[in-house]
Each structure stands twice: as structure tokens, then as C-alpha cells.
Amino acid sequence: MGKRMEDHLRFATCYWHNFAWPGSDPFGGQTFDRPWFPADSMELAKLKADVAFEMFTLLKSPYYCFHDADARPEGANFAENTKNLNEIVDYFAQKQEETGVKLLWGTANLFSQVKFMSGASTNPDPDVFAFCAATIKTCMDATHRLGGENYVLWGGREGYETLLNTDLAKEDAQMGRMLNLVVEHKHKIGFKGEILVEPKPQEPSKHQYDYDTATVYGFLKRHGLENEVKVNIEQGHAILAGHSFEHEIATATSLGILGSIDMNRNDYQSGWDTDQFPNNVPEVALAYYHILQDGGLKTGGTNFDAKLRRQSLDAEDLLIAHIGGMDVCARGLKAAAAMIEDGTLPNFLKDRYADWDKPVNQSMLAGNESLDEIAARVEAQEINPKPRSGKQEYLENVVNRFV
């Protein structure tokens, strides 16, 4: 693989599930007595940052990720939010300096506040669009100031509850305009990182516009952004979309838009995003296999967008959960590297694709024939398809030889 293992993993610890989530779900409140939140004063927000950076250091996590609202006290208005964000960002900068922990990506929480209940950039109220734009600007500036390597947009409320009061074309145009503004701002401030959209099919919206990688790619093409924006793929979101983690990653690499991954685990029974820590080595191995084939993660990393079970009452579990998750990723990555080093898989591609190594003009078809011409050659039996062996059973189990 050339590089060291950790250079491929680029682990990040997320701020929100560890330091801003009290163990609540739609049917019950806090289960976990963590003394450092809520951070409703600047003093507590800084205390929370102390604990967070101590945890990143204990875990030897080279990166972290955060939303504005996880980190700063909520202000009474936009100006107060910005002031609070800038103050905590100064503190983060100092903490990064002291610990060497870096920012993988920053993002804006555009889903918790009541004002976003009917969407953020897709909200029918132009004032909400403007509030959303202004908030993204401050979060991009904060990410840039902290040397963040990417900026993420997850459109949790960018979707609909019912189509009967929804204008799909209008909402698509609004979302496209917002993403264009983001890209314009990126270039204006000289942010060198990647802008990443995180697809998810539903929750909290009944239907989310950034459904999956292919849908996001169509959206980027429509708005002329396919060379400017990439994706952040989350395992749990892939499962909710009816795909696998591997499918979403391979789709992104085939389109040239894989940016980063949110590592977690939904198992195949889950109807919502359960954000478990990864525990399935073959699944993770297949994910890294496609990542390594793509040349590895560049600005992206492996962000644990994962939380403790509600029943976990012990703060020590935060460490144990991450260590277990890191082990699963390391084993998955090793298996993926072994699959590549073994070298037999490319032969299966060659077996499956006729004229795999030949340029188009030497194969049966030159690539510019009409349907009439092709049909004539097939009719003359000059072209005659023969069944080819695909060795599916071997391939479907191949990962198990390496984990």
C-alpha cells in the first residue's frame, strides 16, 4: 500500500454524538449524566472543549468534526451566534495547537432550530433561505480559520413531508443556488478543502432530496457543480437508501466524487439511522477495498458518526466504543489491502469483459456503428455472443478469505 495504515484511515471523532447528545430519542430524554453539557454558557462550552480534546488525545484520534451548534452556546439571534462561534473557534484553535488534533471538517446545524422545520435552503420562506446562507458563511469561515480539510453539507430538512404543498422544481433551484453560493464563497476565501454533500434518503424529512450518491450526482450536474463538490458517504444512510456501504462508495468512486466517509453501522433491520459503531469487518473491508482502488482518501477521512446506545450509562464506554470501532476499521483495511496484494481479482474483471485490454477500435465494434450496421453483423453471425464464466460464488465469498 506504500503508506502507513493510519494515513489511509485518517480517523476523526465527531463532536455531536459525544458532547452534544444526551442519550435522548423521540420517546425519551437524557439517559446519560455527562457533566459537561449542555454548554449554555461560554464557560461551559470551553469546559466541554477541554474534555473533548482530552478524549481526542486519549484516543490518538488525529481529527475531529463539529457543527456550530454542538460547540457554542445558542445565542438570541444571528449576531450572538456568530460572536459565540468565533469565541469558541479561537479556543479550538488554541486546543488544536496544544494537542496537534486537526479539523477534518466543519458543518452547520440547519435542522434543530424551529425556523428550519420546513427546510433550510429549500424553505419556502426567503428569510429562512437568507438565515441559512448567513449561517453557512460563518461556519465555512470558522472551518477555514481552523485549517479544516473539508466542509460538509448534510440536508436533513431539505426534503418534503407531503408533495401536495411542495414545488419540487422551485426547491431544487433554491438548493442549487445555495450550493453555488457555497462554492463561490469557498473560492473567494481561498478555502483549499473539498465541499462535500452527505446523502441520506430520509429522517428527519419523510423524503430527503440528497437521497443517495447517484441522486446527488444528478443534482450536481443540473447545477454545474460536478467538478466542484464531492460526497461524504455514511454507512447507515446507504442502508436506509436500500443500498450497501460498498455500493455507495463504489458509485462515488466510479463518478470521481468520493470525498470522505462517515463510519457507523445500521444493520439490516433498522428503519432509522441508528449510528451504531461499526462491528462488521467484511462490510468495512469491502468499503476500504473500493477506497484503496480509488487511490485512498485524499482530503477525507474516517469520521465516526456513531453514538453510544442509550442504555450505556458509563462515560468510559465512549472510549471503549471508539477503540472497538477503530479495531474494526483497521482489520477491514488490512483485509482490503490483502485482497489487492493477492492480485487475483483483476483477472475476474478480464474474464468478464470481452477485449478488456484492447482499445475500442480493435474490439468487435469500433464504437461508431449505427444500429443497422450492428444488426447486419450480428445477422451474418460475424458477432455471436457466448456465455462467459463469472465465478459469482467464489467472488461473493472472497472477502472472507482475507478477514
Q: Does 273 bind ligand GLO (CB under 6 A)?
A: yes
Could you list the beta-strand ranges (E) of 128-257: 150-153, 159-160, 194-197, 207-208, 229-234
Q: Does 273 bind Ni ion (CB under 5 A)?
A: yes
- 152 binding partner (options Ni ion, ligand GLO, none; Cβ < 5 to 8 Å by kind): ligand GLO
Smallest distance from ligand GLO to CB 110, Å? 9
Q: Which is nearer to Ni ion, 10 or 91 (by Cβ)? A: 10
Question: Cell 401536495 belongs to which residue?
Answer: 164
* Dist. CA 193–CA 148, nearest whole Å: 7
Smallest distance from ligand GLO to CB 204, Å? 9
Instruction: Show the binding pattern over residues 186-205: x = contacts ligand GLO (CB under 6 A), - = does not.
Output: ------------x-x-----
Question: Cell 466543519 belongs to which residue?
Answer: 106
Q: What distance lies between CA 342 and its chain's CA centroid?
A: 29
Binding to ligand GLO (CB under 6 A) within 154-173 occurs at 154
* Sole window of 209-217, 251-259, 261-269, 342-350 interacting with Ni ion (rule: CB under 5 A): 261-269
Torsion of CA 350, 354, 358, 360, to 10 degrees: -140
* Dist. CA 361–CA 51, nearest whole Å: 62
Instruction: Show the binding pattern over residues 274-313: x = contacts Ni ion (CB under 5 A), - = does not.
Output: -x-----------------------------x--------
Q: Does 262 bind Ni ion (CB under 5 A)?
A: yes
Smallest distance from ligand GLO to CB 108, Å? 8
Residue 365 C-beta-side C-alpha neighbours within 13 Å: 15
Smallest distance from Ni ion to CB 18, Å? 11
Cβ(3)–Cβ(36) below 8 Å = no
| Site size for ligand GLO (CB under 6 A) | 10
Among the listed residues 70, 158, 171, 234, the single contact to Ni ion using CB under 5 A: 234
Residue 121 C-beta-side C-alpha neighbours within 13 Å: 26
Binding to ligand GLO (CB under 6 A) within 285-314 occurs at 305
Residue 47 in grid coordinates: 469546559
Cβ(11)–Cβ(306) below 8 Å = no
Site residues (vs Ni ion, CB under 5 A): 234, 262, 273, 275, 305
